[in-house]
Chain A
Amino acid sequence: MHGANPRGRANPLFLWPVLLLVSTSWLSMAGASNDGPNNGPNNGPAMPEHVVGEQPYPFDTNDAREEDKPAIELPDSIRPKLNLLTPEEIDFLESGEARRFTGPLEDTVEALEERTPEEVKAWVGAMREVIERNRYVAGRDAANIPLNTESAHFNAWRLKRPRAMDPQREDGPIELGRYNGYGGPPTFGGFPLALTPEDLLAGEVDVAILGAPLNMGSGWRDSGEQATVDLRLLGGEMSGSDQYVMIEASDVLTIVDYGDVAVDNDSTERSMRHVREVVREIARTGAIPMVVGGDHSLEYPNVAALADVYGKEKVSVIHFDSHYDAWWGGTHLISHGYPVYRLINEGHVRAADYIQVGLRSSGPDKSGFEWMREQGMRYHNMAEVEKRGWDAVLERVVAEASEEGRKVHISFDIDVLDPAFTPATGTPVPGGLTMREAITIMRRLCAETEVVGFDLVELHPMLDPTYKTTLNSAHIIKACLTGLAMRKEGKTDKHYLSPLSSEHAVDDYYGDQQHYLDATRTEEEEEEKEEKEEAEEALDANPTRASDG
């Protein structure tokens, strides 16, 4: 397949000289932007990734995968039907372009036989008209969606409240409750609130949970904006001890609610840059951004922001979804069906660094999967689960994600789960993962691989009067938080489970009673040892205080 590599065709470096010719002034503008992605430690030359002014999207927007079906040659027997056609029209009728209207040779001949030459003329004319009218034509079609650049409040939607407007406080996470942090307005997990990168740095924050209420998904749109609120209302579900591994994430990690990022719910495109800035701001402090959406367009700014910080093509993405989200070629340049293609097209992620889990929607067609295979994308469709069983697929995904040197972003579209667990999602597809399966893989991935970013998207709480979907979404987040805490604790063994909680060991039913008793004792001894060492360290650090005591 020629030109099958969108990465190659769309390489910004490839476009560089073209752009240079087109608009040097614009480039200098983009280059001068000190808020662009160019500040990342591992970035190459400045690249114009943001649309400024009324400029077009600065990457090749052709869908490299689009190709016409093979042309046909009409038999002489049917030629009389073509009497009224011009040679150009006959060429068109035989070309690959006409196949989407008239089908393969056999169907075309049959359709021609049914028509008079006059009807054939009108028929072919209509096809060419459709093709022509479908395309963008300057002067006839609007080249972009203009904004009201005269507005006195053009940027009001994304401007931050000055710190000086509130009473002075120290940097660091803020506990909103009066009673040892409890009793305040609801936050994600009941975790303290942080509002600035300085808060994250001062608090040495490990995980910052950011709401992103983008409400532009193509399915049911109800109240995507409600998602970040409802996840806070049911926030307690996100925290607390995880019995499978006997760890409470917030004991090990500093986790904060980083508030919501501003989005423009009249334009996904316009929201992207600001979300990217805020996610980047989190990642730069060393905290893991956990973005709670919002529709799946968010995968694009989330991963692009990680690429800004960790470098191009340094981050892998595990995309949990019933949809492949690598569509392209429509009128718009971002939607919740496009993030994967756009990330690859802009060179943030290599296609080969994509691992997809749970696909089962009605698209893409064969050519979509052929493209993924050629690109080296690791797709694990529900068809594979049906064939091999979940356990095998789980092991394979974890093995792929833990390959040496991978930094991983997990993008979790809740429609990967069966609608029995998450009815409140924009584009549900039956036949998905169970919560039991999802909790395990999330905990394991976050423990056994190097996760640098996470998002959970497509929650639309108003579709579910039972709160079940919100509850399950919170538990997916909890499973990852637990995994991250395990990793920090060094519990990264393959499929670690607590020897205490996973086996009563009162008898030898499975024949491995002693193993569990020993493992439990070892863990207890290690914990005691650690506590002792910590106490000694504390004493060394602050001997006077100990003597005071």
Chain B
Amino acid sequence: MEKIRSIIIDDEAPARDIIKHYLNELDYIEVIAECADGFTGLKSISSMKPDLVFLDIQMPRLTGIEMLEVLTEKPEIIFSTAYDQFAIRAFELNAVDYLLKPFPKRRFLEAVKKAADKIRSGTGKNEPANQLLAKRPDLASPVNRIVVRKGNAINLIPVDQVHYVEAQDDYVMIYHSGGKALKQQTMKFYEENLPKTDFVRIHRSYIVKVAQLNRIEPYGKDNYVAILQSGDKLPVSRSGYKHLKEELNF
């Protein structure tokens, strides 16, 4: 039988070592690469197309979560992290399992077996990130950057540069000072994870940065339209108008 090809992505060498050591005992699995940051990890996954990835979350340049958000073809993922508040997000991202550091060998082998079974049976592979993504904010502090993919390039958009976010079916379009970018994510996620003092949801399909607002004008009966610094016009729903009123105290 062909060996399962795996990559270990963790920025701490001892953490990679223990996974490697545990895997040494399994003859049906091989480690084809080790990466110490999210960016290199993403490149390795794209070029080497492994079956299984052991993924840390907190890493330089790109977190494990952000990596998965921009991966189009996902291998099976086993998260290994010391941060248990990420656990729910990990499952939402279709991880096979997550391991809390430090983990016992028994627990590790269990996770690997689960992954191996899934890979062998060929089920559940390459599923798109599901709608549960934004079920709940995973951290108390708001996001500071949005990672998007443009062709083969990965861009980090600082939240400071975001003007507004527009819903587009399963995606969102992010309008920022450098242009616009499409990303698979939900409005709910951004409503909850963008800094609440800076952004307001003005419509089912729009979240806007307060500082980008130029003026708000009535539009037909009961309706309003927000005009941005850039001149863009966005509809304001009734509840959106209420949010704005609360936020801006008018």
**A and B held together in a complex:** no
